[in-house]
Structure 1
């Protein structure tokens, strides 16, 4: 077969250089988008319906406070915080931790921040109890916050304890 002077040699093979370059130019953004999308989509972990609840405790035996229960299928991550604020008393007392590992930080006489230092296994419960007696009038409120990158579908993130010297209520 004779070659025409105006026909590139590659044209006989079915591809010319311009076609290859156009295809390469379009594939770069598509590949970059395909690689970036899964990383962004996986950046939020849903820990499910965890629950923070107030607890009156038992007079003379177990102080009032809060329980934090992980959802049934996913642990609560390290860095989950519970911020407790009190009113009606000048000091909300010393908080103890049982059933898990957490650090208690005194923010003020009427405010504490408790941070999980180890993950709380799925379904497990950790308790935060104060030395306050339910025979004292006070109000305690708590809010749980997950670290960045986590969400809690259906979670109960707030609880309270209220004591009126003779009655205690919690939720």
Structure 2
């Protein structure tokens, strides 16, 4: 009877103990990985640049470009403020996923809902026309624990009714 039970079970106590011993490091690594990923790091030389757009086709705004080797993390915030105008318009997002929060008629905050992949670009454009005099300034804030060595965290767009310039 003892022999038959061993044949049907197919597992000895020793096999089960060895399997459990091997699973402990795998489970520990799987638990540690998300914690390490959430801890931040250097995302390198990302860039926030102003863009004049094209009169009647594409509104002014900003592009946020990730470095060639590191993504820009979800939770990154771009705060846009306007001057010389009562309302900076409505911003849209292309090339990625982000929440647009209107703080006031002259201030908007955009928060990335998903990371911008390495080498990728996300754009934020307003309905404001470059045929109006205005200034838009934008600043990037990375989530806690992240840095951007060599990055360009701010940009601007300025229109004088005739000429538009962006940095």
TM, length-normalised to structure 2: 0.77
Q: In 1, distance between residues paired with 2:140 and 2:46?
A: 10
**Secondary structure at the residue paired with 2:162?**
coil
* Corresponding residue for residue 154 of structure 1: 150
Once residues 77 and 40 of structure 2 are traced to their aligned partners in structure 1, the CA distance between those partners, rounded to angstroms, is 17
Q: Please identify the structure whose Cα radius of gyration is greater.
A: 1
- 2:111 & 2:44 partners in 1: Cα distance? 19
Q: Which consecutive unaligned segments of at least 5 residues does structure 2 have?
A: 1-34
Q: 2 CA distance for matches of 1:43 and 1:132?
A: 38
Task: Report how many residues are paired.
Answer: 132
Pairwise CA RMSD? 1.6
Give me the whole-angstrom Cα distance separating, in 2, the residues matched to 1:102 and 1:96: 9
Query: Displacement, 1:101?
Result: 0.4
Partner of 2:70: 74
Return closer, same or farther for 1:43/1:103 CA change in 2, 3 Å cut-off: closer
Which contiguous aligned blocks of 4+ residues in structure 1 show a shift greater than 4 angstroms?
none
For residues 158 and 111 of structure 2, what CA distance do their matches in structure 1 show?
23
Cα distance in 1 between the residues matched to 2:135 and 2:105: 14
Partner residue, 1:135: 131
What whole-Å deviation, never above 9, does each CA across 1:101-153 have from its counterpart, x for those lacking one? Answer: 00000011000000000010000000000000000000000000100010000
Q: Normalized against structure 1, the TM-score is what? A: 0.75
Q: Could you tell me which residue of structure 1 aligns to residue 112 of structure 2?
A: 116
Instruction: Flag structure 1 segments of 5+ consecutive residues without an equivalent.
Output: 1-38
Per the TM alignment, residue 157 of structure 1 is displaced from its structure 2 partner at its CA by 0.5
